[in-house]
Structure 1
Amino acid sequence: MFTARPCLLAVAAAAVAACAAPATADEVAEFYSGRTVTYIQASSAGGGYAAYSRLIVQHLPRFIPGNPAVQLQFMQGAGGVKGANFVYSVAPRDGLTIGMPLAAVVRYQILLPDKVRYDAAKLNWFGSASPLRSIIAVWNTAAAKSLADAQASEVIIGATAKSADNYQQPLLANYIAGTKFKVVPGYKGSKGMDLAMQTGETHGRMSYWESWQVNRPDWISDRRVITLIQVGARPIKGLDAPRMIDLAKTPEQRAMVRLQHVTGAIGRAVYGPPGIPEARRAALGKAVEAVLNDPAFQDEARKRNVGIDPTPGTELTQIVHDALLIPQSVIARYKQVVGMN
């Protein structure tokens, strides 16, 4: 016999299931529609990071459900730590804040854990537009023209700060490759290091190949800079300078070079704070992956000399987690070599 009770129970069960169900695509689109996503760039408005972020911000809205506006905000300071601290500790965790950190953000946590207010393992990593391949190079008027020259006589290298890659990589090269780099910190950003190199105050500097591709393409094409050693994890096509990983003689030395590779592997990454509701987090991840692989985006990137070689968010997340497992013995020896003790 038909009764109303089973019907009422079925309706109640359906209501509970609906409440427990994850947000739908329509609900995500409704949330983002008419809103603004703030995109925190942890650098100045000039340079390679800004070039990538401007391009991403321009194309990203059409891939996020609801097509929100995306506003670029620059937050320079403390070698990128200021921006990462903000994204992790201050920014709302509702899916309306994402950004691009400086690539050294994970390395800073490994080497200076007391100086940061974030845990890179808990951040949401959506993908990277391109890895960074670091080099140590000199201006064409410098006496040193090769690694052998840098092993035979002193080469003055400009740097920004002792905590920066541009200070530590040349010192690591001294330990591994036997170079005689004298590293002088205190220069104000890339412009300060570049000017010192051009005027002869220094002989060279560490840089990221991708940054010079964007901002100094003529330096590469006209051979105004000469690369002495490649430090990045991926070799640079057409560049015959030796790679530091190939010069490492022991497992410990190779592990120390791979610690430096972490920065390059993260590259031009897009991330967000922890705790973003899952449906919005997934939507942002799909949007970033879509924009980085979009033909129109990639075509415009080529026109601007912005190299695109995407790393998916899942792979980037694994890179971060693996980096945070580097043995403390390797970290301690690295810090000793680069003068952090």
Structure 2
Amino acid sequence: MKQMSMACFAMFLGLVPDLLWAQDFYRGKLITLVQDSTPGGVGQLRTQALIPVLQKHIPGNPKIVIQFMPGGGGRTAANHLYNNAPRDGLTIGRVSSGLVTSAILGLPGVQYDIDKFIYLGSGHNEVNNVFFSRSQLGLDNLNKLKAATGLRIGGQSVGHSNYVIARLFAWLLDLKGPKFVVGFSGAEMDVGLLQGELDARANSAETVVQRTPDFINKRLMNFHGVAEIPHGFRYDHPAFRELPALHTFGRTEKEKGVLAMFAAFGRFSQAFILPPGTPKERVTVLKDAFRKSWKDPEFHENWKKMTRADASPLMPEELEELVKNIPRDPEDVKRYNIIAGAESLPKR
């Protein structure tokens, strides 16, 4: 027993120099944070809420700068991080749900393995998306909504999260002949609704409250349902409290399988990753810094001030477990691809 204890102690001593060197490694260095989106918007604010806190918790207090790398629904940045980015602990990725959805759904252009990235956690895993129509249509309850024909439902692009959510609502509510119209920015869709060019859309509850409060206060829109991610989480606003949850419309196992996949994709939101092959001692330092940052009151204050919402962090191990457990059944993947695509919705 004594010999085993001495051996363990010796092993620990052997690791200490590497760890201490890794801690000192970041002094005076520059960390590049590759973000898979364009500048501006809530996504950038969320990243900026973290950066000063993370700099504080990384030994040596390195400077962190953002490099924006949009394209391919997040695949451009993900491919770069997996295949081209330096594996020295000085490049961190800030990726959206496209990282996992593109890989699991088998979309073209994926040149990475989601199970080989190193996960550092996420500041945000709770979200509500609401489905609503312009009040001029008079669709003020679900029966009237289901009776309507040919609703023009807006979306940014085929496969965009808001597009998929709107398609899920249309599918599970058995809407009659919905027409999905894409090619808008989020703000353009709101204008299109007000001008009668569109009839309905999905959007995050948080964005509706912050960007278009008149939709609620002046009753310009009728709200029909909310997609809860995770199930049970509800954005605290009276306009949304009594809305039915999307997952409650799922009746069959095939519908529930698609909804489970959707919920898992939704929880993977603006996560932080390292390229595979990053030295273990630097991974240890960065994971510890991210854990401390996610728990730091300063981070939560920054987030609240910048986004007017509460942070909902996932620790590195929680995010890794989430990715590991995302449903990957081939039949669910096939069905989800149809819903996320441009062809007609599948029959229930």
Q: Name the TM-score class by shorter chain.
A: 0.7 to 0.9
Q: Distance in 1 between matches of 2:274 and 2:165?
A: 28
Aligned pairs for 1:1-341 within 5 A: 21=15, 24-131=18-125, 132-154=127-149, 155-180=151-176, 182-212=178-208, 215-216=211-212, 225-234=221-230, 235-236=233-234, 237=236, 238=238, 239=240, 240-304=242-306, 305-323=308-326, 325-339=327-341
**Aligned-partner SS, 1:115:** coil
- Corresponding letter in the other structure for 1:286: D
TM-score (norm 2): 0.84
Residue 96 of structure 1 and its aligned partner are, at CA, apart by 0.8
Residue 296 of structure 1 and its aligned partner are, at CA, apart by 1.6
Contact 1:130-1:267 at 8 Å conserved across structures: yes
- Corresponding letter in the other structure for 2:166: P
Moved more, 218-227 or 182-191: 218-227
Moved more, 310-319 or 218-227: 218-227
Residue 168 of structure 1 and its aligned partner are, at CA, apart by 2.4
Q: Which runs of 5+ in 1 are unaligned?
A: 1-12
- Corresponding letter in the other structure for 1:320: V
**Aligned-partner SS, 1:122:** coil
Residue 268 of structure 1 and its aligned partner are, at CA, apart by 2.7
Residue 260 of structure 1 and its aligned partner are, at CA, apart by 1.0
Deviations along 1:215-252, one digit per CA (max 9) or x if unpaired, are: 55665666655432222333314522111211101111
- Corresponding letter in the other structure for 2:198: T
Residues 81, 183 of structure 1: alpha-carbon distance in 2 compared, 3 angstrom cutoff: farther
Q: Which residue in 1 is equivalent to 2:3?
A: none
- Corresponding letter in the other structure for 2:305: K
Residues 183, 116 of structure 1: alpha-carbon distance in 2 compared, 3 angstrom cutoff: farther
Q: Distance in 2 between matches of 1:138 and 1:23?
A: 61
Q: Distance in 2 between matches of 1:214 and 1:91?
A: 36
Q: Distance in 2 between matches of 1:38 and 1:293?
A: 23
Q: Distance in 1 between matches of 2:16 and 2:66?
A: 30
TM-score (norm 1): 0.85
Residue 19 of structure 1 and its aligned partner are, at CA, apart by 10
Q: Distance in 2 between matches of 1:215 and 1:269?
A: 24
Residues 134, 242 of structure 1: alpha-carbon distance in 2 compared, 3 angstrom cutoff: same
**Aligned-partner SS, 2:93:** strand
Q: Distance in 2 between matches of 1:100 and 1:215?
A: 24
Residue 208 of structure 1 and its aligned partner are, at CA, apart by 2.4
Q: Distance in 2 between matches of 1:56 and 1:36?
A: 16
Contact 1:177-1:244 at 8 Å conserved across structures: no
Residues 20, 142 of structure 1: alpha-carbon distance in 2 compared, 3 angstrom cutoff: farther
Residues 317, 245 of structure 1: alpha-carbon distance in 2 compared, 3 angstrom cutoff: same
Deviations along 1:276-310, one digit per CA (max 9) or x if unpaired, are: 11121122122222222211221222222142011
Q: Distance in 2 between matches of 1:31 and 1:299?
A: 29
Deviations along 1:61-109, one digit per CA (max 9) or x if unpaired, are: 0011111000012111122221222222221111111132122321121
- Corresponding letter in the other structure for 1:74: F
- Corresponding letter in the other structure for 2:328: I
Deviations along 1:138-169, one digit per CA (max 9) or x if unpaired, are: 34545333433321114321112222222222
Q: Distance in 2 between matches of 1:62 and 1:214?
A: 30
Identity among equivalent pairs (%) = 25
Residues 284, 197 of structure 1: alpha-carbon distance in 2 compared, 3 angstrom cutoff: farther
